[in-house]
Amino acid sequence: NAGVMQNPRHLVRRRGQEARLRCSPMKGHSHVYWYRQLPEEGLKFMVYLQKENIIDESGMPKERFSAEFPKEGPSILRIQQVVRGDSAAYFCASSHILIGSGTDTQYFGPGTRLTVL
């Protein structure tokens, strides 16, 4: 029973390049969340997606960042024209909301560590 999978685990980009991070949720999960963790800090919410829909992108920077979760395939977090300040660990989480339970545990992947040179 595979957990949340993310790739690549490490990504190095030069300033101005594009970074593309992938996340495959746990089997049976249709809700995906992206979080960013800066060094020595907690995780910060970026975006919440369901299949083919962006539900909440209130934590996503307005420019250069985009996310998608297509009907088929993994969720993608795309960062265009990366800058040094984008260097961080990016974590994906998935959940399966149980109707009426009031809770929906989010399970995290191992993260992608992005380094911008």
Partner 1 sequence: QQQVKQSPQSLIVQKGGISIINCAYENTAFDYFPWYQQFPGKGPALLIAIRPDVSEKKEGRFTISFNKSAKQFSLHIMDSQPGDSATYFCATLSSGSARQLTFGSGTQLTVLP
Selected from 24, 49, 65, 91, the binder of partner 1 by CB under 8 A is 91
Decide the pairing of beta strands 43-50 and 53-56: antiparallel
CB of 88 to partner 1, least distance (A): 14
Query: Per rule CB under 8 A, is residue 1 in the interface with partner 1?
Result: no
Q: Find the binding residues for partner 1 in span 41-70 (CB under 8 A).
A: 41-45, 48, 55-56, 58-59
User: Which one, 75 or 95, has the nearer CB to partner 1?
Assistant: 95
Selected from 28, 39, 100, 102, the binder of partner 1 by CB under 8 A is 102
User: Which one, 1 or 103, has the nearer CB to partner 1?
Assistant: 103
User: Which one, 17 or 29, has the nearer CB to partner 1?
Assistant: 29
Q: Find the binding residues for partner 1 in span 7-46 (CB under 8 A).
A: 31, 33, 35, 41-45
Contacts of 34 (CB under 8 A, 6+ apart): 23, 45, 46, 47, 49, 67, 75, 77, 90, 91, 92, 93
Query: Per rule CB under 8 A, is residue 107 in the interface with partner 1?
Result: yes
